[in-house]
Amino acid sequence: MNQETKIIDENIQGQALMRETKNPEGKKLFLESYGCQMNFADSEIVASILIDKGYTTTQNYKEADVIFVNTCAIRDNAENRVRQRLQDYKKIKKDKPEALIGVLGCMAERLKSQFLEQEKLVDIVVGPDAYRDLPNLIEQAEGGQKAINVILSKEETYADIAPVRLDKNGVSAFVSIMRGCDNMCSFCVVPFTRGRERSRDPESIVRECKEAFEAGYREVTLLGQNVDSYLYSGGGLKKEILTPEQKAASTNFAQLMEMVALVNPDLRVRFSTSHPKDMTDEVLEVMAKYENICNNIHLPVQSGSSKVLNRMNRGYTREWYLERIAAIRRIIPGCGISTDIITGFCGETEEDHQETISLMKEVGYDYAYMFSYSERPKTLAERKYKDDVSEEVKNRRLAEVVALQRDSSAVKAKEGVGKVHKVLIEGFSKKSEEMLMGRNSQNMVVVFPKGNHKKGDYVNVMVDRCTTSTLIGEVVG
Ligand code: SAH
Ligand code: SF4
Ligand code: F3S
């Protein structure tokens, strides 16, 4: 894989769970996750449900009794990768016919029984809202039946299930604050795979963050497809039918973030993903008020052309987006800003593409995830528009966007040189056990000699040089 595809598709590599639990009697579970952070957070719920039932985990699929792949359907290549993996896993059935293979998550929800009937790749198919049913489904499959539950829920938030943390470092934890998405961006499959938007009870969120802090975590990332749309009114009331009084009595995202920031000043707070149409100044003001809320916003723009944004059904224009960027710069000077970009969406002209380029230059992103458009079945775009930009043009535009972003990231890294950064240590650097790595508030990686420091500590690092994406320096005072 060349460097370029690595940047574009870093979430296409599956990640096996990292922690092993010990119950020598228990059946062995191998769990691999693809896709976004929400899927990783869901895998922690799945692990919790099954470990509760006596399962033990393994990192070697060949010795597993149950293999689960938590899948992503966002682009075609994400799905192809999962199909390949399932073919590999299926081979273990030659030696171990009783082993069960299950597909979870967004691709399970999208393809439903097709996995069992046409593709004959798996024994169990479970959508993102049906994980409580996993023990039953496994039992059914053990009895020789094919097991499937892809029912989407309007209420399920798994609020009461304490996730089993599967991260690598024990320092940063993901906390899911809502599920689903009601936005219907025309290119996007998520509303079909994850169902209606619903917000999780703030008390259970704060409790989970406290428990993470007590377990040694020093950073939480609050997760939702559109965190700015978070609204919890209690009593299962739907946002659309709330009276103005009920709305005022509900908890919004700014208020939730403040509650989490107050858990402990040494607990860093991050969140993802913000939506440009919904991001309020109130949220930015709360960020500015608390030192432990990181100065970093992921604000996906998708395109710099208002015409394309309109076809994408994003609910904002180029001008609106740039006004939101100006608000961030005004209220949180020095805030890191990252984005997502799609090249070659239906009807995108060369002029539209140049507008994306000029917007990127104007904003100067710290980081970006960049993709070429991949048509998804059932989406608005698939039904309404022609996927009329050739693969060649999509990829050429993507390469241009990637090159520009590389320059922009390098500029951002250079701006960090000669300054002191507060860093939360996550572990050893990739290259050497003599060096530690962590992130600054803007989410940039900082590397420095280890001295007597350890992961989970905060240190101030004076940065004296950089690569295109990493700051390097020494701990001071
Ligand atoms: N909820 C987030 C994004 C979730 S999906 C938001 O609204 O910003 C993550 C990213 O995948 C999107 O921001 C988009 O850039 C990309 N993406 C989604 N559907 C895609 C498709 N059909 N083809 C290419 N990229 C896509
Ligand atoms: Fe998809 Fe749009 Fe929802 Fe993001 S906001 S998950 S892009 S529909
Ligand atoms: Fe993929 Fe589902 Fe996330 S489609 S990006 S795993 S919400």
| Higher per-residue confidence, 22 vs 30 | 30
Has residue 331 been placed in a domain?
yes
pLDDT for residue 10 is more than 90: no
**Residue 74 CB–ligand 3 contact under 6 Å:** yes
Q: What is the pLDDT of residue 23?
A: 67
- Chosen domain end from 395, 415, 435: 415
* C-alpha 67 to ligand 3 mean position (Å): 20
Instruction: List the CATH number of the domain containing 107.
Output: 3.40.50.12160
Q: What is the pLDDT of residue 182?
A: 95
Q: E-assigned strands of 106-224?
A: 124-126, 147-149, 172-176, 178-179, 198-199, 219-223
Q: What is the pLDDT of residue 19?
A: 52
79 and 200 share a domain?
A: no
Q: How far is CA 112 from CA 44, 82, 106, 152, 317, in A?
A: 22, 15, 10, 12, 36
456 and 393 share a domain?
A: no
For residues 65 and 29, what is the distance between their CA atoms, to the nearest angstrom? Answer: 6
* C-alpha 205 to ligand 3 mean position (Å): 21
Let me know: does 223 contact 177? Beta carbons within 8 Å.
yes
Q: What is the pLDDT of residue 5?
A: 29
Mutating to test ligand 2, I would choose from 75, 178, 185 the residue with most ligand atoms within 8 A of its C-beta, which is 185
Has residue 164 been placed in a domain?
no
Q: What is the pLDDT of residues 437-450, one digit of tens each?
A: 999 999 999 999 99
DSSP character string of 197-224: -EEPPHHHHHHHHHHHHHTT--EEEEE-
Q: What is the pLDDT of residues 276-293, one digit of tens each?
A: 999 999 999 999 999 999
193 and 310 share a domain?
A: yes
Q: What is the pLDDT of residue 12?
A: 46
* Total domains, the chain: 3
93 and 116 share a domain?
A: yes
User: Residue range 104-133: average pLDDT?
Assistant: 92
Let me know: does 84 contact 76? Beta carbons within 8 Å.
no
- Chosen domain end from 363, 387, 415: 415
Instruction: List the CATH number of the domain containing 346.
Output: 3.80.30.20
pLDDT for residue 1 is more than 80: no
pLDDT for residue 312 is more than 90: yes
Let me know: does 17 contact 43? Beta carbons within 8 Å.
yes
187 and 214 share a domain?
A: yes
For residues 406 and 473, what is the distance between their CA atoms, to the nearest angstrom? Answer: 22
Q: What is the pLDDT of residue 245?
A: 84
Q: What is the pLDDT of residues 176-210, one digit of tens each?
A: 999 999 999 999 999 999 999 999 999 999 999 99
Average confidence score pLDDT of the chain? 92
* C-alpha 373 to ligand 3 mean position (Å): 15
205 and 303 share a domain?
A: yes
* C-alpha 161 to ligand 1 mean position (Å): 28
**Residue 36 CB–ligand 2 contact under 6 Å:** no
**Residue 229 CB–ligand 2 contact under 6 Å:** no
Q: Which ligand 3 atom is the nearest neighbour of the CA of 73?
A: 4
**Residue 413 CB–ligand 3 contact under 6 Å:** no
Q: E-assigned strands of 224-285?
A: 231-232, 251-252, 268-272
Instruction: List the CATH number of the domain containing 451.
Output: 2.40.50.140
239 and 361 share a domain?
A: yes
205 and 326 share a domain?
A: yes
pLDDT for residue 338 is more than 60: yes
What is the domain range of residue 221?
172-415
User: Residue range 420-429: average pLDDT?
Assistant: 97
From 139, 135, 131, select the one nearest 176 (Cα to Cα).
131
User: Residue range 411-439: average pLDDT?
Assistant: 96
Has residue 160 been placed in a domain?
no
For residues 12 and 81, what is the distance between their CA atoms, to the nearest angstrom? Answer: 7
Atom 5 in ligand 2: which residue has the minimum CA distance? Answer: 183
Q: Is the peptide bond before 273 cis (omega within 30 degrees of 0)?
A: yes
132 and 184 share a domain?
A: no
**Residue 39 CB–ligand 3 contact under 6 Å:** yes
271 and 389 share a domain?
A: yes
Has residue 154 been placed in a domain?
no
458 and 336 share a domain?
A: no
58 and 72 share a domain?
A: yes
* C-alpha 476 to ligand 1 mean position (Å): 40
| Higher per-residue confidence, 9 vs 35 | 35
pLDDT for residue 13 is more than 70: no
Q: Which ligand is nearest to the CA of 38?
A: 3
pLDDT-based confidence at residue 118 (cuts at 50, 70, 90): confident
Mutating to test ligand 1, I would choose from 8, 371, 405 the residue with most ligand atoms within 8 A of its C-beta, which is 371
Two tokens, residue 20: 């092993």
Atom 4 in ligand 2: which residue has the minimum CA distance? Answer: 225
Has residue 161 been placed in a domain?
no
User: Residue range 307-330: average pLDDT?
Assistant: 98
Name the helix (H) or strand (E) containing 398. Answer: helix 391-415
| Higher per-residue confidence, 323 vs 236 | 323
Has residue 157 been placed in a domain?
no
pLDDT for residue 4 is more than 50: no
**Residue 101 CB–ligand 2 contact under 6 Å:** no
* C-alpha 441 to ligand 3 mean position (Å): 26
Has residue 166 been placed in a domain?
no
- Chosen domain end from 415, 432, 456: 415
Q: What is the pLDDT of residue 7?
A: 33
| Higher per-residue confidence, 94 vs 374 | 374
Has residue 377 been placed in a domain?
yes
